[in-house]
Amino acid sequence: MSKWKILQWLVRCVFAALFLYSGIWKAFTWTDTQAIIKSYELLPDTDWIIGTVAILIIIVEIVASVLMIWPRKQNWGVALSAVLLIVFTAILTYKYGDWLEYGCGCVGDDTGHAVGMKDIMKNVLLLSMLGLMMWMRKEGRDQF
């Protein structure tokens, strides 16, 4: 196995761990997760809608993390993670400059602050890494 395939595998494992941790964190801090979603003021202030969205986010994050390390489903995991990050980035961009009581809602981020370029650029960096992984895998490349 080449050093690039090992690097790609390690990066995929890090992403899988990140999304798994994020999904589990959201599940175990259920009330906070709902409050974070509600703080974005993008959905009707109805408990069942907020709860449904929270459940969907949790499920998708956990499924994406599992697929990312599943040998024959890696591309699906990377693609699902990318879709999540695109949606999260679009929302952060829309809310740019707005004060969010719980912060951006990223993993463990519960400190209130205005959405800034740092929040958006974290996602853009992660998306770039996922894009590079997909491209390398699709093209069968094992080196840059």
DSSP state of 113: E
Q: Average pLDDT of 57-75?
A: 91
Q: Average pLDDT of 126-142?
A: 75
Tokens of 99: 């004060």
Of 31-35, 69-73, 88-92, 122-126, where does mean pLDDT reach its minimum? 69-73
Tokens of 129: 């890494």
Looking at residue 12, its pLDDT comes to 87
pLDDT at 38 over 70: yes
CA-based Rg of the chain, rounded to a whole angstrom? 16
Distances (CA, A) of 111 to 19, 32, 36, 43, 98: 20, 12, 11, 21, 14
Res. 144 pLDDT band, cuts 50 70 90: very low
Classify burial at 45, counting beta carbons within 10 Å of its beta carbon; exposed 0-12, middle 13-18, buried 19 or more.
exposed
> Structural domain boundaries of the chain?
3-138
Res. 143 pLDDT band, cuts 50 70 90: very low
**Of 11, 16, 19, which Cα lies nearest the Cα of 129?**
11
Looking at residue 109, its pLDDT comes to 62
Looking at residue 127, its pLDDT comes to 92
Looking at residue 108, its pLDDT comes to 62
The DSSP secondary structure of 66-106, one letter per residue, reads HHHHSTTTHHHHHHHHHHHHHHHHHHHHHTTT-EETTTT--
pLDDT at 34 over 90: yes
∠ CA(133), CA(139), CA(143), 5° rounding? 65
Q: Average pLDDT of 89-93?
A: 94
